[in-house]
Structure 1
């Protein structure tokens, strides 16, 4: 009986832990096609870079007026330099990011939903919907709301910094004492 139990258990284990089945593979292929159709390869760097630029601009706009102009200029200059360097790094990661979109779509939507989305992105409206949706972050209404949020969060940062610093010092002192 025990001799039979091991092969049966192994068989059950392989069934349960089986790699993606045909439905998952076809769903992933469909999701990859959606990504290819909705996010044209030639526009992907601009899409990701545009989001980073918009977020950076909104963060800078949210910085209070009490920041001295010289400090603001330095922060803006260094932020712009960082963003430019970051876009070079980003360009190397775009293929993996786009494939992760496809995997996320496969995991989030049923195959029937993916077919509907695939049909939609093949229409004139659908072909630009996802690319243009990413740009909503640049819309003045969104930017205003986001800047208000960022301003409030930034006001909380000094207290957070103090708490983290205090806890880190206490932790490191305890480590040195122990």
Structure 2
């Protein structure tokens, strides 16, 4: 049951959308242009999907390494690996339909969150060969043994708490459903 809960948590982790806020203003054109160039050069359109795929692969691999009983149980390892591939494929399929809007929203967020001076500094950096490679190499950073080790320890602690959280959610839902059924 521990492994099932951890696997479910892995799937949920990739499925939870972040909270969105309505935007009532449009950032100034200069900020938008700089932000667009930062995003387009930091996440080149021709390699974006691969960049996101690399990050997903790294996170799933680290999650697999942090799960109890998976490495020691060949059947569980096969089941988890099959699940990981389904999660990855689903993530990429869904991402393909949203990537353009995600990138455009990043442009708007950068334009709103950073001052023109900060955007100019980021732009100057991103336009250099070192800066261009900075964002493109984030999956390598995520896969570095030092980061992977720390991230796996975090995931182990996080996943250890999931059964209790899932049980609390189950109890809350049962209580709500019970009240609705009883009140009709």
TM-score between both structures, scaled by the size of structure 1: 0.81
The answer for the alignment partner of 1:9 in structure 2 is none
**Consecutive unaligned residues in structure 1, runs of 5 or more:** 1-17
**Consecutive unaligned residues in structure 2, runs of 5 or more:** 1-23
Q: Distance in 2 between matches of 1:166 and 1:132?
A: 43
The answer for the alignment partner of 1:104 in structure 2 is 109
TM-score between both structures, scaled by the size of structure 2: 0.79
Q: Distance in 1 between matches of 2:108 and 2:26?
A: 12
The answer for the alignment partner of 1:72 in structure 2 is 77
Pair 38,53 (structure 1): closer, same or farther in 2 beyond 3 Å: same
1:126 corresponds, among 119, 127, 131, to: 131
Q: CA deviation at 1:89?
A: 2.3
Q: How many residues align?
A: 159
CA-atom RMSD, angstroms? 1.9
Q: Distance in 1 between matches of 2:158 and 2:26?
A: 42
Structure 1 stretches of at least 4 aligned residues deviating more than 6 Å after TM superposition: none
1:169 corresponds, among 162, 165, 174, to: 174
Q: CA deviation at 1:134?
A: 4.5
Q: Distance in 1 between matches of 2:80 and 2:69?
A: 14
The answer for the alignment partner of 1:57 in structure 2 is 61
Bigger-Rg structure (1/2): 1
2:26 corresponds, among 20, 25, 39, to: 20
Q: CA deviation at 1:19?
A: 4.9
Q: Distance in 1 between matches of 2:88 and 2:101?
A: 20
SS in 1 for 2:26: coil
More helix by percentage:
1
